[in-house]
């Protein structure tokens, strides 16, 4: 069996924990509970006849009072940057976190998740900004922890990237 550590980072309340809950347990709760420190879950994915055990480190959202602890990222084989489509500032936070995460994980593969895509009318993110990131080679997936859009795909895609990287 192959085991991979993946990290989920992003600003506070972008839906990191909800994404993990949706992916691991297929549940969603409107109730917001902030993550203190780190929360770890696991899920097995089948990829190319291989079983991959994903250890998902749901790291607390960064804000003015609580900065991301770099040590949580060490050893990650891949990571998600999560932004909230209804809060434009969260995209910048993700971009900011990327620099640190990339350095610590030694250029591990990553995917930017634009979460809460079910709230299309409240979308604040500019397409230009996202296109700029795409041009830089970023992979971007729209997700909704609420209705499950893109969640499975996101984890599967990151798994593929990690396996490709390790090969």
Partner 1 sequence: MTEQKAKAIDDFLEKGQLNELREIITGLDHSSLDRLQKLMKDPHEFALEISDLLPFSIRKLIEKGSINIADLLPFFEEIIQESIQRNPQRLANLLFPIMGPAIRKAVSEDLRKMIESLNKGLESGISPRHLKWRIQALFSQKSYAEIMLSKAYVYHVKHIFLIHKETGLLLHQVRAPKTRPIEADMVASMLSAISDFAKDSFDGPKGENVETIRIGDTNLWIEEGPYAVIAAVVEGNPPPGLRLVMQEAIEAVHYNHRADLENFGGETAIFEHIEKFLKSCLQSEKITKKSKPPYFALLLLFIVLTVAGYYLVKHFQYKNKHEALIEAFQNEPGYLISRSRVHDKLFILQGLRDELSRQPQVVASDLDVDPEDVKFKFQHFISTDSTFVIKRAIETLKPPATVVFSFQSGILTISGKADESWASQAKNDYIKVWGVKELRWELIGKNEPKRDLSWIVNDIESYSFIFDFNDIEMNEEQQLKFEKLKSTARLLDEFNHLQNQSHLVQIESFTSKASNAAANTKVALTRAESFMALLNKAGVPAELMKTAVQYNEDIEKPMPVRTVKFKVVKK
**Interface size with partner 1, residues (CB under 8 A):** 23
Short-list 29, 24, 30, 82, CA closest to 56 = 24
Q: For partner 1, which stretch binds (CB under 8 A), given 11-19, 53-61, 112-120, 150-158?
A: 53-61
Query: By CB under 8 A, is residue 107 in contact with partner 1?
Result: no
C-alpha pair distances (Å), 86 with each of 14, 59, 122, 160: 9, 21, 5, 29
With respect to partner 1, which residue has the nearer C-beta, 89 or 165? 165
Short-list 109, 117, 14, CA closest to 62 = 14
Query: By CB under 8 A, is residue 55 in contact with partner 1?
Result: yes
CB atoms inside a 10 Å sphere around CB 48: 8
Q: At its nearest, how many Å lie between partner 1 and the CB of residue 87?
A: 27
Query: By CB under 8 A, is residue 53 in contact with partner 1?
Result: yes
**DSSP label at residue 85:** T
Considering only 72, 80, 110, 155, the residue that binds partner 1 (CB under 8 A) is 72
Strand, coil or helix: 4 = strand
Please give the residue ranges that form the binding site for partner 1 (CB under 8 A). Answer: 1-5, 37-38, 40-42, 52-53, 55, 57, 69, 71-72, 74-77, 162, 166
């Amino acid at each position: 069996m192959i085991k991979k550590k993946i990290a989920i980072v992003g600003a506070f309340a972008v839906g990191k924990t909800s994404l993990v809950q949706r992916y691991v347990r297929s549940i969603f709760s409107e109730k917001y509970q902030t993550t203190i420190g780190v929360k770890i879950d696991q899920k097995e994915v089948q990829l190319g006849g291989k079983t991959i055990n994903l250890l998902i480190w749901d790291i607390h959202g960064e804000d003015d009072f609580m900065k991301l602890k770099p040590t949580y990222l060490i050893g990650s084989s891949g990571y998600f940057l999560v932004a909230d489509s209804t809060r434009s500032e969260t995209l910048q936070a993700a971009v900011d976190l990327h620099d640190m995460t990339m350095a610590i994980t030694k250029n591990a593969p990553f995917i930017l998740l634009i979460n809460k895509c079910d709230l299309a009318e409240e979308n604040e993110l500019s397409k230009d900004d996202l296109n700029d990131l795409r041009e830089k080679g970023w992979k971007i997936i729209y997700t909704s922890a609420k209705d499950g859009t893109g969640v499975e795909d996101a984890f599967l895609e990151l798994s593929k990237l990690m396996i490709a990287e390790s090969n």
